[in-house]
Amino acid sequence: MEEIILIKIGEIVLKGLNKRAFEDVLLKNLKNRLHKAGSFDIKIAQSTISVSPKDENADIELAAEIVGKTFGIATFSRACTAKKNIEDIQQKAVEYLEETLEDAKTFKVEARRSDKKFPMTSPQISAQVGGYILEHFPHLKVDVRNPEVTVTVEIRDFSAYIRGGVIKGAGGIPVGTGGKAAILISGGIDSPVAAYMMAKRGVELTAVHFASPPYTSQRAEEKVCKLLEIVSAYAGRMTMYTVPFTEIQKQIKDKCPEELFTIIMRRFMMEISQRIAEDKDCTALITGESLGQVASQTIHAIACTDIVCSMPVFRPLIGMDKDEIVSISRKIGTFETSIEPYEDCCTVFTPKHPRTRPILKYVQQAQDKLNCSELIENALADLKVTRIGYGDNKF
């Protein structure tokens, strides 16, 4: 029995004349991602994508897992194919859903006849298939309002399909349709969630990570790679640029007021990230900041850091509380890695009493004590490159 995956696209259907362009990107993403599960034939017709194994080596279980993490998909179902005659449809429905129907108490059949040449109407198909199921599973009862199992029969141009439950997809729009942006990634809970949320809006990601050896360890950087690997299941492949940040932090600590340390550090991070972003054809920065969560994330502090940027800075978590962010991190699988006890550079030289309402002119005066251009150029000259989502990390 041939099993396939039927995919329903979501928000893409609202794109009007641009719909085809979004569909093409989604099909390309599916083709690239499903390669690791084997060889599949991918087609789209009437806003439904079918994913069919080309040979017995194709892993339908892994393919379904990949489809479930691909942005641009509203729902999907595993289904079996049948010949376009009622006898084969009935038989395949009983065989394919046998285990599900044996464990249920109530069911209904829904039929959708896209091919109007099929000799039976949708209600007739539902009645015929429903009666056949009752003959083979006499313990079942029909419940059209709240059934435990809904058996769906679709009559399309090339085949008939029988499926059971519908699985919710990742939603959003396909990665690659929303431009490119650089995510400032740490080892905490917030920034991986921010990366996920912007990828959901079609943004192709480049990652920027700041490391401060010996204050931060190799294990801390490996933790960030692990987080990005998890996110890449949704966001696709990306490249991470690790910035050596120790000397900059030492200079700030030695020459600037302690209460302004975090603000000045963040200004360096934003400026360096923008330089990397511009070089990699990105047109925005992304951070995991949530308003008021820490001293560097107040309105006044954010204003002092953003002013060094000429490109937009997206903060998808800005209005969320910690519980909401944690909930998403658990859903996407990053939470347990995020709470592993490895320090990141943001915790190095943390001031006891950071300024929560910094005044820009005083921040600029303090930063003028540093040779900012030289510090930035030196950091950019020694970037470490890691490719994420390419199997083993490639340096």
Going residue by residue through the chain, which has 395 residues, state the pLDDT in tens, using 9 for 90 and above: 889 999 999 899 888 889 999 999 999 999 999 999 999 999 998 778 999 999 999 999 999 999 999 999 999 999 999 999 999 999 999 999 999 999 999 999 999 998 899 999 999 999 999 999 999 999 999 999 999 999 999 998 878 999 998 999 999 999 999 999 999 999 999 999 999 999 999 999 999 999 999 988 899 999 999 999 999 999 999 999 999 999 999 999 999 999 999 999 999 999 999 999 999 999 999 999 999 888 888 999 999 999 999 999 999 999 999 999 999 999 999 999 999 987 777 777 777 788 889 999 999 999 999 999 999 999 999 999 999 986 544 43
* Domains of the chain, residue spans: 3-170, 180-388
The confidence score (pLDDT) of residue 390 equals: 65
Q: Does domain 180-388 have CATH number 1.10.287.1080?
A: no
Count of all residues that appear for the chain in the document: 395
**Architecture in CATH of 3-170:** 2-Layer Sandwich (3.30)
CB 234 within 8 A of CB 200: yes
Assessment of whether the complete model's pTM goes beyond 0.85 = yes
The confidence score (pLDDT) of residue 158 equals: 78
The confidence score (pLDDT) of residue 96 equals: 96
Q: Return d(Cα 100, Cα 108) in angstroms, integer.
A: 13
Please choose, from the candidates 155, 152, 5, the residue with its C-alpha nearest in 3D space to the C-alpha of residue 84. 155
Residues 6+ apart with CB under 8 A from 200: 71, 170, 171, 172, 173, 234
CA dihedral 372, 374, 380, 382 (to 10 degrees): -130
Fold match between domain 3-170 and domain 180-388: no
The secondary structure of 24-60, three-state, reads: HHHHHHHHHHHHHHCCEEEEEECCEEEEEECCCCCCH
Backbone angles phi, psi at 306, to 5 degrees: -65, -25
Q: Which two tokens stand for residue 136?
A: 């083979």
